[in-house]
Amino acid sequence: MAVIDALTVKELREKTGAGIMDCKTALAKTDGDIAKAIDFLREKGTLQASKKSDRKTGEGVIGSYIHSGGKIGVLIEVNCETDFVAKNEEFQELVKDLAMQVAGSFPEPLYVSKENVPAEVMEKEKEIYIKQAQESGKPPAVIEKIAAGKLEKFLSDVCLLEQTFIKDPETKIKELLTRKIAKIGENIQIRRFIKYAVGS
């Protein structure tokens, strides 16, 4: 069996948008051949998920999760295309997992996706990171790269879709969603969530 290196996995991810574990599996099954791995992912349905991402999601459910003896609670709205899928056990399980993610992850998510982060928040964070980097005395081009890296880290912390799934550290929430879309066969979107904590 071919040794699958990180660069090959990265290349396949960039070409397909599939999750890291899906890419690793596809490459392992095809002895590291990228073209065959793309075909493998297509057959599995992972690539079809991206085509469904523009379809309207007018149904869904509001899920809830109560944690820590009633001290923390989460409400989350997850949308799908049909009422049939909204009642599907796998979809319901996904909603529960997402509510648990919001309740249990640290730092806690503040936004669904990068696109939901207000421009003024992005600018303020970037200013802070640039000032921090300037103290190192490095050249402007390096300072810009350092600030961009820190901003990306900030987004991965505060955006639910960019977070690592608490049940599987190898998977991001957006990758989990892609897998479920491929498996269930409908577009699925996280619309909004809110977290309550006693005393806060």
Give the model confidence (pLDDT) of 49-89 as tens digits. 555 666 677 899 999 999 878 899 999 999 999 999 999 99
User: What fold characterizes domain 118-158?
Assistant: GTP Cyclohydrolase I; Chain A, domain 1 (1.10.286)
Same fold across 59-111+159-197 and 118-158: no
Q: Are 116 and 159 in contact (CB under 8 A)?
A: yes
Query: What are the structural domain ranges in the chain?
Result: 6-44, 59-111+159-197, 118-158
What kind and span of H or E run contains 28? helix 20-29
Local structure of 59: helix, strand or coil: strand
What kind and span of H or E run contains 34? helix 34-44
CA-nearest of 6, 37, 69, 57 to 190 is 57
pLDDT at 5: 85
The alpha carbon of 54 is separated from its chain's Cα centroid by a whole number of angstroms, namely 17
Q: Are 65 and 103 in contact (CB under 8 A)?
A: yes
What CATH number was assigned to the domain covering residues 6-44?
1.10.8.10
123 exposure class (CB count in 10 Å sphere: 0-12, 13-18, 19+): exposed
Place of tokens 């996995």: 9
| pLDDT tops 90 at residue 184 | no
Q: What is the DSSP letter of 48?
A: H
pLDDT at 58: 81
pLDDT tens-digit series, residues 132-160: 888 878 888 888 899 999 999 999 999 99
pLDDT at 53: 60
Local structure of 105: helix, strand or coil: coil
| pLDDT tops 70 at residue 1 | no
pLDDT tens-digit series, residues 7-66: 888 888 777 767 778 888 889 888 888 888 888 887 766 655 555 666 677 899 999 999
Report the pLDDT averaged over residues 84-107: 94
Domain 59-111+159-197 maps to which CATH number in 3.30.479.20, 3.40.50.300, 3.90.1150.10, 3.30.420.340?
Answer: 3.30.479.20
